[in-house]
Structure 1
Amino acid sequence: MTVALETVDLPTGETIGYREREGGSVPAVLLHGNMTSSKHWDVVLEAMADRYALYAMDMRGFGESSYEEPIDSLADLAEDLALFVDELGLERFHLWGWSTGGGVAMEYAAARPDRVRKLVLLAPASTRGYPIYRKDERGNPTDEVLTTREEIARDPVQVAPVLEAHEREDAATMKAIWNQLIYVNERPDPERYDEYVADMFTQRNLVDVDYALTRFNVSDEHNGVTEGSGRAADIEADTLVLRGEDDLVISEAMIEETLADLGETATFVELAGCGHSPLIDDREQLLEEVESFLEA
């Protein structure tokens, strides 16, 4: 099926890029994670059942989308999503968020529960955020959470090396980071991998997104940075939470927090032999679980 790269202008002045797979009658919107864009959904756009009309959005500051107004929160990105689906005329749709996109999807589903048919969260940021801890002299995390953009940008383990690779457009270093943390089992074919890395360098908001992740909190708990909004309880859609058993980015504890906060609406499935990118590790297993859930 044909995939078209399109753009749409929002009333806020931002332009949103997106990939639309033509055909299908059941709309589903896909939200990528940090350091990626809609480009990284290509394996799903190629293989998901043709009954689905797929819209993979570049969030503000990623891929083909603009970054006129900096973000402070994942809720800012959820508001972009709200305007985006209105511009496309999507009234009710399935919503699938991966990693950071999972947090954005939760914000949207809580704010507009009538618009989301079913919610899929693939290796999502916890409902209580994704903290970045201060490192000691050996580079090991302490129990102190970084709270400012300036501190986050200087983090010597999780952030600064990525920023430096971005500034130099250093593909070799970026691949080394991804091979260590994301593609721990399988890797994309060389041509696709090169395209992914080139796409990573289009991001303009890495520190802003990391800052937003530390402040994201839709639970009833204080997460060490912000008081919880309690909005997880406003999510009405049946929700599938997925995590690869070898995920080095999203821990089991983070998934347990998410499941506890979402309550009875959520079902959890562990993906065997997968890390943080089941799209590459085992696309067939991933799509089997997602499509079975959406069709139930």
Structure 2
Amino acid sequence: MTTNLIIPGITQHTIKTDRLTVAYLEIGTGASPIVLVHGNCSSSLFFQDFMLELAATNRYTIYAPDMRGYGDSEVLPLDATRGVQDFSDDLDAFVRALELPPFHLLGWSLGGNVVMQYAIDYPGTLRSLTLEAPGSPYGFGGTKEADGIPIWPDYAGSGGGTANPDFVQRLQQGDRGSDAFSPRTTMNTFYFKPPFHVSPEREEIFVSSINSTRVVPGNYPGDLTQSSHWPNIAPGTQGVNNALSPKYLNQGNFAQCQVKPAVLWLHGADDQIVSDTSFFDLGFLGQIGAVPGWPGAEIYPPQPMKTQVRTVLDRYHANGGHYSEVALPDCGHSPHIEKQAEVVKIFTEFVDDHS
């Protein structure tokens, strides 16, 4: 990674774990360790300003790894039939390689699903768990109702084939333009709530971060199979978008976690990616006429993603866990960037209460 992508004060390292070589950012010398896990089509670079603000308190040491296939970490095929467990196991290998004591864990977007899986798979290692704009625990696409009921038996409408092919092509080309479907336009339209913009310098860093996504077999977006059910594409078995398919990802058992760390759920009230009316959900796109042949709301309604998150967290609470929800007004999919000062305050108060 070129040095001008790293903001002064933050250092980048690599560490060889027993699963892969991981690139990560680090700052701070405080007693409480914090690990930040990024989302799909991004990398640790999206956390830099947030990390600087956390480090300024002198209470934390902050680590932000790049997941496999993103940023400067090693590219390895992702076995989607395990859901996001490859990512969860990678995270475990990372924190063991660093010999971290119990730590605070935040996951953003796809990272939210990864950290939920980590809490399920590795009980007793967390001081607290923060879900920032997490995907539904019942996967992305292909389900309905609060309990994540599959719409079709083959989970059509989810998986590697749901990625916009124009965006995938531009990502593969490292496009830095501002046309429709470019990484830059996608970010400014959907990662943030328009008309929010970061500075020109940060925008270039973020575009580089998005373009670090490796468009290769086994990584992004993943393979697909044909389906006789609308919209005629179903999940394959490799790559990140298939790992997020409800065919393989069902985190309803988060409510029965063996050890239940306190959970903070942070999300933007105007998120267009993780939403009950998501512009990345084929059910909603069919409803608004953007995808032809939609069979109607009785058969294929929009996926109620936030309702599904809340349902699982309510069950987590009913089973003895504790969670708090903060919905930030006038905010999209990236609260730690769009509402940085507010999120730093909310997050540090939460972390300090559980240190």
Q: Which amino acid aligns with 1:233?
A: Q
Give 1:140's aligned residue. Answer: none
Matches within 5 A, 1:86-125: 86-125=96-135
Alpha-carbon displacement from aligned partner over 1:152-176 (angstroms, at most 9, x marks no partner): 4444xx4312211112221222111
Contact 1:103 1:216 (8 Å CA) reproduced: no
In structure 2, what residue type is equivalent to 1:116? L
- Distance in structure 2 (CA, Å) of the matches to 1:211 and 1:154: 9
User: What's 1:242 paired with?
Assistant: 266
Aligned position for 1:83: 93
Q: Is the 8 A contact 2:268 2:331 kept in 1?
A: yes
The answer to whether the aligner puts 1:38 opposite 2:44 as a matched pair is yes
Range moving further from structure 2, 197-206 or 39-48 = 197-206
- Match for 1:43: what amino acid? D
Question: Partners of 1:11 and 1:236 in 2: how far apart?
Answer: 27
Q: TM-score, normalised by structure 2?
A: 0.72
Is the Cα–Cα contact under 8 Å of residues 33 and 103 in structure 2 kept in the other structure? yes
Give the structure 1 partner of residue 84 of structure 2. 74
Say yes or no: does 1:217 pair with 2:250: yes
CA deviations 1:66-116 (Å, max 9, x no partner) are: 013433231110000001000001120000000000000000011112001
Gaps of 5+ in 1: 134-142, 220-229
- Evaluate the alpha carbon distance shift between residue 199 and residue 50 of structure 1 in structure 2; reply closer, same or farther with a 3 A threshold: same
Q: 1:282 to 1:10 in 2, by over 3 A?
A: same
SS of the residue 1:16 aligns to: strand
- Figure out how many residues of one structure are paired with residues of the other and give that number: 273
Partners of 2:184 and 2:172 in 1: CA distance: 15
* Residue 111 of structure 2 corresponds to residue 60 of structure 1: no
SS in 2 for 1:206: coil
Deviations 1:168-216 (A, max 9, x none): 2212221111222112231211111111111222212221111111132
Structure 1 counterpart of 2:280: none
* 1:25 Cα offset (Å): 1.0
The yes-or-no answer on 1:282 pairing with 2:331 is: no
176, 181, 191: which is aligned to 2:190? Answer: 181
Are residues 1:8 and 2:43 paired? no
Determine the C-alpha separation between the residues in 2 that align with 1:260 and 1:152. 23
Q: TM-score, normalised by structure 1?
A: 0.86
Cα 1:131/1:270, change in 2 over 3 Å: same
Identity %: 29
Higher helix proportion (structure 1 or 2):
1
Task: Using the TM superposition, give the Cα deviation of residue 145 of structure 1 relative to its aligned residue in structure 2, in angstroms.
Answer: 8.9
Asked whether the equivalents of residues 14 and 22 of structure 2 are also in contact (C-alpha less than 8 Å), the reply is: yes
Matches of 2:104 and 2:164, distance apart in 1: 32
Q: Which runs of 5+ in 2 are unaligned?
A: 1-7, 144-150, 222-238, 277-303
Match among 302, 310, 314 for residue 259 of structure 1 = 310
Q: 1:16 to 1:161 in 2, by over 3 A?
A: same
| Mapped partners of 1:146, 1:187: distance in 2 | 40
Q: Which has the larger radius of gyration?
A: 2
1:51 match: 59
- Partners of 2:159 and 2:175 lie apart in 1 by 21
Distance change >3 Å, CA 65–CA 200, structure 1 → 2: same
- Partner residue, 1:165: 170
Does the CA-based 8 Å contact 1:153-1:160 persist in structure 2? no
